[in-house]
Amino acid sequence: MVEGRTRAAWAQIDLDAVRGNVELLRRAVAPSAVCAVVKADAYGHGAVPVARAALEAGAAGLAVALVDEGIELREHGVTAPVLVLSEPAGEAAEAAARAGLTATVASAAGVTELARAARRVGTRVAAHVKVDTGMHRLGVAPEALHGLVAAVSAEPVLRLEAVWTHLAVADGVAEADRTFTALQLERFEKALAALPLRPPLRHAANTAGALFWPEARYDMVRCGIGMYGLPPSTAGREGPDPTGGAGTVARLRPALSLRARVSAVRELDAGARPSYGRLRPLPERSIVATVPLGYADGVRRALLAGGAEVLVGGRRRPLAGMVSMDQLVVDCGPDGAVAPGDEVVLIGTQGDEAVTAMEWASRLGTIGYEVVCGISPRVRRVYTGQGEGGGGREAG
Average pLDDT estimate for 319-337: 96
Q: Distance between CA 385 and CA 379 in Å, rounded?
A: 19
Residues of the chain with pLDDT > 90, as a percent, come to: 91
Tell whether the model's pLDDT for residue 13 goes beyond 50: yes
Tell whether the model's pLDDT for residue 337 goes beyond 80: yes
Question: Which one, of 209, 181, 240, 210, lies nearest residue 28 by Cα?
Answer: 210
User: What is the per-residue pLDDT for 157?
Assistant: 98
User: Model confidence at 386, in pLDDT bands (50, 70, 90)?
Assistant: confident
User: Model confidence at 233, in pLDDT bands (50, 70, 90)?
Assistant: confident
User: What is the per-residue pLDDT for 239?
Assistant: 46
User: What is the per-residue pLDDT for 336?
Assistant: 85
239 contacts: CB under 8 Å, gap ≥ 6: none
Average pLDDT estimate for 315-321: 98
Tell whether the model's pLDDT for residue 30 goes beyond 80: yes
Q: How many helices (H) and strands (E) does the chain have?
A: 13, 19
Average pLDDT estimate for 59-72: 98
- Tell me, rounded to whole angstroms, the distance of Cα 270 from its chain centroid: 42
Residue of 233 and 228 predicted with greater confidence: 228
Q: Distance between CA 113 and CA 95 in Å, rounded?
A: 12
Tell whether the model's pLDDT for residue 371 goes beyond 70: yes
User: What is the per-residue pLDDT for 245?
Assistant: 81
User: Model confidence at 247, in pLDDT bands (50, 70, 90)?
Assistant: confident
| Strand-pair partners of 113 | none
User: What is the per-residue pLDDT for 240?
Assistant: 52
| Domains of the chain, first to last | 16-228 (3.20.20.10), 256-355 (2.40.37.10)
Tell whether the model's pLDDT for residue 395 goes beyond 80: no
CA distances 369 to 81, 178, 255, 256, Å, are: 24, 21, 13, 12
225 contacts: CB under 8 Å, gap ≥ 6: 43, 206, 207, 231, 232, 368, 369
Tell whether the model's pLDDT for residue 390 goes beyond 90: no
Tell whether the model's pLDDT for residue 219 goes beyond 70: yes
379 contacts: CB under 8 Å, gap ≥ 6: 3, 4, 9, 10, 11, 258, 293, 297, 298
Catalytic residue set: 39, 276
CA distances 331 to 176, 277, 315, Å, are: 44, 16, 11
User: What is the per-residue pLDDT for 189?
Assistant: 98
Residue of 119 and 238 predicted with greater confidence: 119
Note the pLDDT tens digit of each residue in 179-205. Answer: 999 999 999 999 999 999 999 999 999
C-beta separation of 301 from 323 below 8 A: yes
Note the pLDDT tens digit of each residue in 83-112. Answer: 999 999 999 999 999 999 999 999 999 999
Please indicate, yes or no, whether the overall pTM of this predicted structure exceeds 0.75.
yes
